[in-house]
Structure 1
Amino acid sequence: MDGKVMKEADVAEVGKVVKETEVAEVDAVSTAKCCCCGLVEECTLAYIMRVRERFGGRWICGLCSEAVKEERARSKSEEKLITMDEALKRHTKFRQQFRSSATDHKKDFIDAVRQIFFRTLDSPRKKENFACRPLGRSSSCFPTMETTPPRTTGTHTE
């Protein structure tokens, strides 16, 4: 025999390597996006495949999964048990009806600045009796600062 024919041990070794590779691929972490709410999660490929198998090829997050199961159980008490696909459609429709619109953060910031601006304009100002003493410049050209003497209030103790 020439070197091109593989021995049974070699074939078994190749099969073992292929199985280990398949297991490693299934255990690899991947991201999946929920078809209902858009949540992105990191999951193993095995988990993603199980969820997709359960929900007709769609991947949904755990919270939406529980909501779909609850929708299906609720329909059982109303009439006949609905399919998983119908429960998923009902949950998606319900979620879209009550989804709040995204807030515009730029508009919120502008409104807050506007409110502060108007409060500042409306607040009364004291022209006298400053809380702090004003600073006076010295006669030199260096930036040495000296304070002005404190004001007297007019009451003297003798």
Structure 2
Amino acid sequence: MAPNGEGAVAAPAVGKGRREKPKRISMEGLQRAMSDLALELTKADSKKQQADPAGGGAGKLPGITEQVVVEEARCECCGMLEECTPEYVRRVRERYCGRWVCGLCAAAVSAEADRRSHGDGGGGGRTSTEEALAAHMAVCGRFNRVGRANPVLMQTEAMREILRKRSRPNGPRDHAHGGLTRSSSCIPAITKDINCASK
């Protein structure tokens, strides 16, 4: 439904072969319809409670005007604020060793925990989550101390780390294929073929 009733139209009236433009529903009409619907739901709910006073309201829906409690939670890794319900905060704290982490950090910690558990034979469980959380918190803490103050230094260090990993001779690529090497130049062979073809 569009705000302020824009775009909401009533069903077109079908006349004697001619079409009329659909009428726009006013905001007042929408509010009246919502009020009528709320009244009908209240009546139905009160009838249900009279019929079954000890029912406990198992199938009861929350009221239209009932608001969900939202609180701001700060990620203990990166420091980002998120608005979430207390129930969500509780579930995240249970999963991540009593610490509240935002969605991005949670994804990074989960990926790191999976990597650690598969690397250790798959028996990590809570220990791998704790280790992954500690490692991610260390990276975030270092970034917050150094990276935010001097982003060029952080980028330079990242490039240095990439080059260091790439230059290690004990990598899996070196054992599998031996790298791409050329034993001799192909230019003399091409030149010979060209000279033979031109004669």
Report which of the two has the higher share of helix.
2
- TM-score normalised by the chain length of structure 2: 0.37
Report which of the two has the higher share of strand.
1
- TM-score normalised by the chain length of structure 1: 0.46
